[in-house]
Amino acid sequence: MGAKICLPTPLRPRNITAVCSAFALLSVSGMSHVAWGQTEDEQEVPQYTAEKEPEVSPVVSFSRYIGLQGITHNLANRGIYFNGYYAGTSYSQASGGRKKGTAFLHDFAYGMDLDLEKLVHLHGGQIHIGLDSRFGTFNAGGLNTFNGSAMDYQGGVTGPSNNTRLSEFSYEQNLFNRIINIRLGRIAPTKYLTNLPTDCQFVSFVCGNPGGWSFNANQSHWPVATWGGMLTIRPATNYYIQTGAYADNSWGFTRTGFPFSGNWSEAHANGTFIPVEGGYSSTYETEAYPKKYVVGFYYDSHNFSDAYLNTAGKPLLTNGGTPMNDGAHTEVYGEFMQTVWKPNRKSHEDLQIFGGAYIGSSGHPTVNAYYTLGVLKHGLPRRPHDYMGLIGVASVFNQRVTAALDTAVQVNGGRGNFARSTEGVEFTYGAEVLPGVLFRPYIDAVFHPDQELYAYVPDPKIHYSVGGGAQIMIRFNEAFDLPEIKPL
C-alpha cells in the first residue's frame, strides 16, 4: 500500500502586483508567497529600480470574465470557501525494471471549508469537506508493473484509482487563543503527520508519508479517511505537539468513503492507530530562515500477519497453513528541514536541506528502517519562481520479508536472493508556467527494486530501474485568484 499522494496545504494568494516580491515555491503541500520588508541591518543591500506592474495572468482574467472570482469572494465574505487542485502525471519506464511502458494518472482534489465564525458567530470553529477523484492507468497493477518497486511513485498506488472518494469530513476548533486545536470526524490521519514542506515538491518518492509508514502501519492514507480525532497544543510560536486516535479499517480501503459505501460503520475496524508528534516548524511568515525539526512515535494495535511464517513457525509458501500473528507494531521517527542559504534576509530565494529516519521499534514490520535525504534550490537565474531538487531514499527490509521473496523464487523454479534494501534517487525541476500552474519534469532511478506486496512472481535478477515523466499541477485558488480560508 503506497503513501498518499501529495495533498497541498491551503495556499495563500500571492500578491502578484508587489514590486520586487520574493517567492518560495513549495508543492502540493503548498506554502504562502509573502514579501518581506527590508530591515535596518540590510541597508547595504543594493536597491533596484521598481519594475512595471506585472500583467494579470490570463487564467485570472478568465476567472474574472466568467464571474468566478467575484462569486467566490462574495461567498468567502460570508464564510464559505472552496479549494482544490489538479495533478496530471505521466511515467515511462526507460531502462531496467520489469518491462517498458507508460502510465498516466489524473487526480482532482476539491473541497469546501466553512468559517463558523462568519456563518454562525462560533469563534475558532471550521468545518472541512474534501473529495478526491482519480482516474488513469497507474493503479492497473501499480507502477511496480514497470519498475518492480512499490517505493516509487507513492501517490499512484494509493487508491483506489478510477474512483471518487470522500477524503475528509471534519470539525475543527481552536481554544484559548490558538493554544489548543481539536479536529474530529472522518480524517486521513497521515495528512497531518510526517509532512515536511519540501516533500511534495517531488513527484516519485516522498510526496506524502514516508515509505516505511506505507508498508508498516495499518492506518489509512490520504485520500482514505477513517473515524478519528487529533489534539494539537501550541505552547509557543512555531512549537507544537500533537496526538490522536484513529480507527484501523483496511476493509474500507477499496470503498468510496461516503456513508452509503458502508465503511462509516466500525463493524470492520481491526485496530487503533495512535500517533504522537512534536517539534518546531516555521515558515516565511514567522522566520527569515524557515526550518522544521520533528520527532514522533506511533502505536498500531492491529494484529499483523507474518510475511514468512505460519502458526507452526514454518515457511508459509512451502508448508501452507495460516500466517503467524505478530501482534502490534510501533515506530519512532525524526525528520528535519533547514534553510541554509539566502542572498539576503528578505529574499525567498533559498537553498534548503531536509531528511528523515523512520525506525520500526517493535513487532515485525515490513520495513525495519526508512531514510531520506535531499536538497532543494528555490529561485534560478532568469526563473525566480522555479525550483529544482534532488532526493535519495533507502528502505531496509525485515529479514522475514526477504526470506519470503527468496522462497517464492525457489517455489517457482528460479534461483537467486533478494537484497535487504531498496534505494532510490529522484531529480525534479519545477517550472512556474503561470501563477498557480506548475510543470514538473522528473527522472528517478531505483536500485534493487523491492518487488514487495504484489502478485507477480518476484525476479532477483532485476537490479535497477530508470524512468521518469512529467506532472502538470494546477492549484485552483492561486491560479484563478480564489480566496482560501485562513488555517486555524
Report which DSSP code applies to 51.
P
Q: CB pairs under 8 A, 24+ apart, for 454-458?
A: 454/141, 454/142, 454/144, 454/150, 455/141, 456/98, 456/145, 457/408, 457/409, 457/412, 457/414, 458/405, 458/408, 458/409, 458/418
Handedness of CA 387, 340, 282, 154 (dihedral sign): positive
The DSSP H or E segment spanning 310 is strand 291-310
Residue 50 has pLDDT above 80, yes or no: no
- Reported as a pLDDT band with limits 50, 70 and 90, residue 54 is low
pLDDT at 455: 53
Angle at 387 (CA atoms; ends 386, 388), nearest 5 degrees: 140
d(CA 131, CA 368): 33
Report which DSSP code applies to 484.
-
Average pLDDT over residues 410-437: 92
Residue 24 has pLDDT above 80, yes or no: no
pLDDT at 27: 36
pLDDT at 217: 86
- Reported as a pLDDT band with limits 50, 70 and 90, residue 47 is very low
- Reported as a pLDDT band with limits 50, 70 and 90, residue 142 is low
Residue 263 cell numbers, joined: 465503511
- Reported as a pLDDT band with limits 50, 70 and 90, residue 278 is very high
pLDDT at 438: 97
Beta bridge partners of 141: none
Residue 415 has pLDDT above 60, yes or no: yes
- Reported as a pLDDT band with limits 50, 70 and 90, residue 252 is confident
Average pLDDT over residues 268-273: 92
**Residue 271 backbone zone (phi > 0: left; psi -120 to 50: alpha; other: beta):** left
- 58-65 vs 68-78: helix crossing angle, rounded to 10: 70
- Minimum mean pLDDT range among 40-49, 99-108, 420-429: 40-49
Residue 475 cell numbers, joined: 492549484
d(CA 157, CA 144): 9
Higher pLDDT, 389 or 208: 389
Report which DSSP code applies to 46.
P
pLDDT at 190: 78
pLDDT at 73: 97
- Minimum mean pLDDT range among 6-10, 93-97, 273-277, 352-356: 6-10
Residue 224: which residues within 8 A CB-CB, separation 6 or more?
4, 158, 165, 167, 188, 252, 253, 257
Residue 329 cell numbers, joined: 507494531
Residue 222 cell numbers, joined: 490520504
Considering the entire predicted model, what is its pTM? 0.84
Where helices occur in 91-250 by DSSP H, the ranges are: 116-120, 144-147, 211-216
d(CA 442, CA 427): 6
CA 280 to chain CA centroid, nearest Å: 19
pLDDT at 160: 59
CA 55 to chain CA centroid, nearest Å: 33
CA 130 to chain CA centroid, nearest Å: 15
d(CA 142, CA 140): 5
Secondary structure E strands in 381-479? 383-397, 421-434, 437-447, 464-475
Residue 63 cell numbers, joined: 476567472
At 479, is the secondary structure helix, strand, or coil?
Answer: helix
Average pLDDT over residues 302-325: 92
Domains with residue ranges and CATH for the chain: 53-479 (2.40.160.180)
* Residue owning grid cell 503506497: 2
d(CA 298, CA 223): 20
Beta bridge partners of 174: 181
pLDDT at 210: 76
Other Cβ atoms less than 10 A from the Cβ of 375: the count is: 16
Q: What is the mean pLDDT of the chain?
A: 85
Q: Per-residue pLDDT tens for 424-477?
A: 999 999 999 999 999 999 999 999 988 775 556 788 888 999 999 999 999 999
Average pLDDT over residues 406-411: 89
d(CA 208, CA 6): 5
With b meaning 16 or more CB within 10 Å and e meaning fewer, what string describes 196-228? bbbbbbbbbbbbbbbbbbbbbbbbbbbbbbbbb
Residue 28 has pLDDT above 80, yes or no: no
Q: Per-residue pLDDT tens for 167-184?
A: 999 999 999 999 999 999
Beta bridge partners of 7: none
d(CA 113, CA 169): 10
Q: Per-residue pLDDT tens for 315-354?
A: 998 999 999 999 999 999 999 999 999 999 989 899 999 9
Residue 159 has pLDDT above 70, yes or no: no
Residue 229 cell numbers, joined: 480525532
- Reported as a pLDDT band with limits 50, 70 and 90, residue 242 is very high
Residue 285 has pLDDT above 80, yes or no: yes
pLDDT at 139: 55
Question: Nearest CA to 329 among 353, 350, 307?
Answer: 307
pLDDT at 33: 36
Q: For the chain, what is the radius of gyration of the CA atoms?
A: 23
Residue 140 has pLDDT above 60, yes or no: no
